[in-house]
C-alpha cells in the first residue's frame, strides 16, 4: 500500500562505501541538496563489517550509497534505530538497491511527499554457542552460511527446526536465507525466489550428499538450530551476509531466528521487485545462460 501523507524529515544520515571512487563527490552533492532544503545531515564513509556508528536521535532517514553489499552493511548498522534507508546504487541498480544514482533525488522527493512506500525486510539473528556460552552474535539481511573453510570437503551437520531433529546434513554447506537473500547465494545454490515481504526463511543445503535433501521454506517464527557434528575432516566457518565471519569447532551450535527489528527500505518509484528480478535474471523469454 502506498503511503499518501507527507513526511517531515528532521535530519538525514548519508552512508557511503568509501571504496567507490565517485562516492565522496556524490555525497557532497547530496549534502548540498539537503542543505538547500534546510535539512541537517551527517556523513559516514563506511565499508567495515564490524564498524559501529552513532546516529543523531533526530535522524529520520538514511541515504546509503554503493551497491547491494553496502546496503547489507548499512542494514546491520541501522536496524536497531528503525531508520528507513534510501539505497542508491552507484552503478545501475541491484537486487536490493533498486534506485539508480540519477534517480535518487526523485526517489527522495517521492518519499518526502508520501508517494513512496517502505518495504519492511525480515532480518536474521545468528548466534553461536560453544560449551553452553554464546561466543558470537550478528544480524543479517541476506543469509547465514556454514561451509568448509579449508580444502573443499564435505561438512556434517545436525539440523533442528523448532526443536525437532530434521536430520543429518552432509553437504558442502548450508544456507539459511531471508526472502531478501533468496536472490543471492541461496538462488545460486538452487533455492527458490521468495517475495521480499514474506515472513519466511529458506533452509538450503549446498550440494548435499543425499539428493533428497532439498531447499525447505519455513515460517518466519521458526527457530533453526544447526549443530556441528564431531569428527569433521575440514575446518568449518560461518559467515553472515558474506561479510561477518566466525570460525566453528566440533560441537558448536548455531541458532538462527527472525530478528526483532527489520530493515526498512524505501521502494523505488521507477520499478518494483518483480521488474528488478525480471531484468536482472533476463526473464525475456529468449535464450540466456
State the catalytic residues. Answer: 68
Cα–Cα dist 148/153, whole Å: 6
Cβ 47 vs Cβ 23: under 8 Å: no
Distance of CA 170 to the CA centre of its chain: 26
- Rounded-to-integer distance, Cα 190 and Cα 38, Å: 48
Q: What b/e sequence results for 60-79 when a residue is b if at least 16 CB atoms lie within 10 Å of its CB, and e otherwise?
A: bbbbbbbbbbbbbbbbbbbb
Residues 6+ apart with CB under 8 A from 249: 130, 228, 236
144 phi/psi in degrees, rounded to 5: -115, 135
Inter-residue contact 121 to 196 (CB < 8 Å): yes
- H or E element: which one contains 274? helix 273-280
* Parallel, antiparallel or unpaired: strands 216-219 and 244-248: unpaired
Bridge-based pairing state of the strands 61-66 and 253-258: unpaired
The residue written with cell numbers 533525488 in the block is: 105
In 41-176, where does DSSP find H-type helix? 68-78, 104-112
Q: What is the C-alpha separation between 185 and 141, in angstroms, rounded?
A: 12
Amino acid at each position: 500500500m502506498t503511503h499518501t501523507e507527507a513526511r517531515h524529515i528532521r535530519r538525514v544520515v548519508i552512508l557511503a562505501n568509501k571504496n567507490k571512487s565517485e562516492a565522496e563527490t556524490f555525497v557532497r552533492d547530496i549534502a548540498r541538496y539537503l542543505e538547500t532544503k534546510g535539512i541537517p545531515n551527517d556523513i559516514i564513509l563506511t565499508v567495515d563489517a564490524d564498524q559501529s556508528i552513532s546516529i543523531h536521535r533526530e535522524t529520520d532517514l538514511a541515504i546509503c550509497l554503493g551497491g547491494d553489499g553496502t546496503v547489507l552493511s548499512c542494514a546491520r548498522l541501522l536496524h536497531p534505530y528503525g531508520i528507513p534507508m534510501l539505497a542508491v546504487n552507484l552503478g545501475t541498480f541491484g537486487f536490493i538497491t533498486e534506485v539508480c544514482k540519477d534517480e535518487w533525488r526523485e526517489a527522495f522527493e517521492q518519499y518526502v511527499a508520501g508517494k513512496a512506500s517502505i518495504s519492511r525486510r525480515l532480518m536474521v539473528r545468528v548466534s553461536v554457542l560453544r560449551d553452553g556460552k554464546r561466543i558470537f552474535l550478528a544480524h543479517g539481511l541476506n543469509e547465514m552460511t556454514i561451509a568448509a573453510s579449508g580444502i573443499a570437503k564435505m561438512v556434517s551437520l545436525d539440523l533442528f527446526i523448532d526443536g525437532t531433529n530434521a536430520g543429518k546434513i552432509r553437504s558442502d554447506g548450508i544456507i539459511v536465507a531471508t526472502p531478501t537473500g533468496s536472490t543471492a547465494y541461496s538462488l545460486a545454490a538452487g533455492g527458490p525466489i521468495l517475495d521480499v515481504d514474506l515472513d519466511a526463511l529458506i533452509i538450503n543445503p549446498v550440494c548435499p550428499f543425499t539428493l533428497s535433501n532439498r531447499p525447505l521454506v519455513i515460517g518466519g517464527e521458526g527457530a533453526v538450530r544447526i549443530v556441528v557434528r564431531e569428527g569433521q575432516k575440514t575446518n568449518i566457518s560461518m559467515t553472515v551476509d558474506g561479510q561477518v565471519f566466525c570460525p566453528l569447532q566440533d560441537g558448536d551450535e548455531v541458532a538462527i531466528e527472525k530478528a526483532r527489528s527489520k530493515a526498512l527500505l524505501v521502494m523505488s518509484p521507477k520499478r518494483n521487485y518483480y521488474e528488478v528480478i525480471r531484468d536482472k535474471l533476463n526473464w525475456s523469454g529468449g535464450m540466456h545462460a
